[in-house]
A and B are shown apart, each in its own frame.
Chain A
Amino acid sequence: GENVEQHPSTLSVQEGDSAVIKCTYSDSASNYFPWYKQELGKRPQLIIDIRSNVGEKKDQRIAVTLNKTAKHFSLHITETQPEDSAVYFCAASSSNFGNEKLTFGTGTRLTIIP
């Protein structure tokens, strides 16, 4: 099955600086890669996703890049703000019917230092 690794497990960034979180996946059939933000005790919320037919996607201060050959994808947050502090999870799934479940990474606890 799919295995998703995520690094780093914790990340502290000065407010205004950029944060980068990286994930690798093992199943070459995976073609959908969402990122979730989870605040303490709350539900995960989708912040951005990318499909395997594109290499990069951007939404305001958030961007995701995908390298299919190397099987890794990254989340980039620019101009970080205190409200960006949370745990971020990457995930991967295949759109093949019967196998379209999400496999999550281990999470990154991001702390923005004011």
Chain B
Amino acid sequence: GAVVSQHPSRVICKSGTSVKIECRSLDFQATTMFWYRQFPKQSLMLMATSNEGSKATYEQGVEKDKFLINHASLTLSTLTVTSAHPEDSSFYICSARSGDNPYNEQFFGPGTRLTVL
């Protein structure tokens, strides 16, 4: 099946710093990538949807200036958590989908565990 990677897998940072998370589709072109946040023992909450070459669409309540998303190529999307605070500590998961068909399976990355001290 299709493979999606994320880097880093874990990151610990100080409050006020910025953290960049990369999401790559390794063997297919991802027209659309999705960024989710998952708190312990909770569900996946969609943060934003990004299409290659265009601005990301953010879900209600997600600050676009705090969570910067870039989808510059068909195989790479990045999420930058700016001025991170302890409440931003979470498991961030990306997924990628090829083509425009919404029935196409979303393939998930392994996630990035962010801890803000």
Contacts and interface: CB of A to CB of B under 8 A. Distances in A.
B42 interface: yes
> Which range holds the interface residue count of chain B?
20 to 34
Nearest to B36: A104
A102 B109 contact: no
A105 B106 CA distance: 16
Contacts of B45: 104
The interface residues of chain B, by DSSP majority, are classed as loop
Contact of B43 (A32, A34, A42, A104): A104
A100 interface: yes
A101 B49 contact: yes
Contact of B44 (A93, A95, A104): A104
B63 interface: no
Nearest to A51: B103
Contact of A32 (B46, B49, B103, B110): B103
A102 B106 contact: yes
Contact of B111 (A43, A105, A107): A43
Interface in A63-114: 89, 93-97, 100-107, 109
A89 B44 contact: yes
B46 A101 contact: yes
B93 A44 contact: yes
A100 B46 contact: no
Interface in A31-46: 32, 34, 41-46
23 contacts: A32-B102, A34-B105, A41-B111, A43-B108, A43-B110, A43-B111, A44-B108, A46-B105, A51-B103, A89-B43, A94-B102, A96-B102, A97-B100, A100-B102, A101-B34, A101-B46, A101-B49, A102-B34, A102-B106, A104-B45, A104-B46, A105-B43, A106-B43
Interface of A: 1, 32, 34, 41-46, 49, 51, 89, 93-97, 100-107, 109
Smallest CB-CB A-B distances: 6 pairs: A100-B102, A43-B108, A95-B102, A104-B43, A104-B44, A106-B43
